[in-house]
């Protein structure tokens, strides 16, 4: 998402205004230079290293059905806001399970992307981690499916810590797990939400395209 669906987890309203106090990143390197200069790399998963084969419209339908089973009217059509709201409605476990079921199945059918191929090649020997909006189990399934387990030192999914992207906690947890410092790490992702997550964490953000453009690793 992209971790899918693309853009669905980008912040709006209160989330967007909360970024006013976040670091601008102006004093940090950017693009391929930032990627090459970093001591450690944290990667988003879906849309970055690989692509989960998930019908996100069907996921949204199943989540809406979980609300309907309890005679509840979904407060929004946004999948991730429905997940967050589910706890307040007392159906958090059911909604999480509905999403995670699709993610695990999609991880088993996932496709490796160019950045994942490069990581698999062993060309980059820096400490690496995954920070994903997908559930942690799906992350492990996808990494194992493509032989990437040994290429990363830590995996943080949306259910690993208390909050998920675009809140910074999961990214900071991934950086801490590989004994790196936020100002010496980069976060590589494919979505606006990934960029917001990095900014809130005080970590340089690098797009997938810029990471692929960096040959100095």
Domain ranges (residues) in the chain: 14-51+111-213, 56-108
Model confidence over 20-69: pLDDT tens digits?
Answer: 444 443 346 778 999 999 999 999 999 999 999 999 999 999 999 999 98
Residue (of 169, 168, 170) closest to 135 by Cα position: 170
pTM of structure: 0.84
* CATH no. of 14-51+111-213: 3.40.50.1000
Confidence (pLDDT) at 216:
63
Per the CB < 8 A criterion, the answer to whether 3 and 80 are in contact is no
What's the mean pLDDT in 168-197? Answer: 98
For the cut 90, the answer to whether the pLDDT of residue 91 exceeds it is yes
Query: Which pLDDT band, with edges at 50, 70 and 90, does 76 fall under?
Result: confident
Query: What local confidence, expressed as pLDDT, does residue 27 receive?
Result: 44
* CA proximity to 204, closest of 35, 6, 64: 35
> How large is the average pLDDT for residues 175-197?
97
């Amino acid at each position: 998402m992209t971790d899918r669906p693309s853009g669905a987890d980008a912040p709006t309203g209160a989330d967007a205004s909360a970024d006013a106090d976040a670091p601008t990143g102006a004093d940090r390197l950017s693009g391929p230079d930032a990627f090459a200069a970093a001591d450690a790399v944290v990667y988003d998963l879906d849309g970055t290293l690989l692509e989960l084969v998930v019908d996100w419209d069907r996921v949204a339908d199943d989540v809406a059905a979980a609300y309907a089973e309890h005679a509840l009217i979904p407060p929004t059509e946004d999948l991730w806001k429905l997940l967050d709201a589910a706890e307040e409605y007392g159906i958090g476990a059911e909604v999480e399970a509905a999403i995670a079921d699709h993610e695990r199945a999609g991880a088993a059918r996932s496709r490796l992307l160019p950045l994942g191929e490069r990581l698999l090649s062993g060309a980059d020997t820096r400490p690496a981690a995954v920070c994903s909006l997908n559930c942690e189990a799906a992350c492990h399934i996808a990494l194992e499916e493509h032989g990437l387990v040994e290429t990363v030192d830590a995996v943080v999914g949306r259910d690993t810590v208390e909050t998920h992207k675009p809140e910074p906690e999961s990214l900071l947890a991934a950086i801490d797990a590989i004994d790196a410092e936020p100002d010496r790490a980069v976060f590589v992702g494919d979505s606006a939400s990934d960029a917001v997550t990095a900014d809130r964490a005080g970590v340089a953000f690098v797009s997938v395209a810029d990471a692929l453009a960096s040959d100095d690793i």
